[in-house]
Chains A and B, each alone.
Chain A
């Protein structure tokens, strides 16, 4: 299994689109930092990037980012996790099997003594690893750029009721990264499932991004009622409450739990489908 995972990691690493995606997540925090440094937001105009998944009244992340470089990655993660990071996750997950099929290489890979289940697990590990890497790069790039621009220190904004030490910010930063990444897991699992069914990765990626957009729109319609709470995207931004003085719990826990059935169901269907599939591409 180790060799198989290693070969799949290398294959993905050498893809130009991987470099574009990873370059993008490195670049965006730097661009945001430059923009904030050149035009420091005030308390009244710093609401960009606020708001939780389906929730109003999130913290003023851009304003906070300009107060401490430690919060630049949070502002960036908040913005990117609403769409771009979702696309990147779907790219890695939707690409897994479908791109091999599209190249015509899947039929050669599967004439090796490799069980289909093993190959699927290896592909899943690689997709997850690159998705986690993309999330980590947002945080690291934001930390470096933010630190250079605004320095590393705790913040205290009494008017917002926010006071956080350096260690508290760093701890919450790590937790926020994990929660933001996991919050996309259900949609990414859908991309992975589609990838086992299609010979074109674009179809799998677009299908999953479509699911994300539709459930996000539906989640914003209050009249739909409690059914929205079961959508994989409804609690996506709940991690931002970590930076309003809240501790881990409530909607953050609901977001973690909400992903589990989606991940299990979509990955299981993908596995079942791939095991039975005739490889004709």
Chain B
């Protein structure tokens, strides 16, 4: 796990649909992670099973999940700048 210091921590915003599955999770939280993959690892450590909701076994960010950093859709290997805000979003889908 990454050392939590002010220069490695980002802010993460989780979507309502995920919070329904994990009602004990926080909507906004601070996470120490250098890239999106390690961010998902950290979320899964805090709330077991959440990682599989966001990342498939390819491994990739799930097809209908968007993880946005600075307005850009990111992949598992996308770096996260210290202090960045990371939005986890459910893409338009369903029927």
A-B complex is real: no
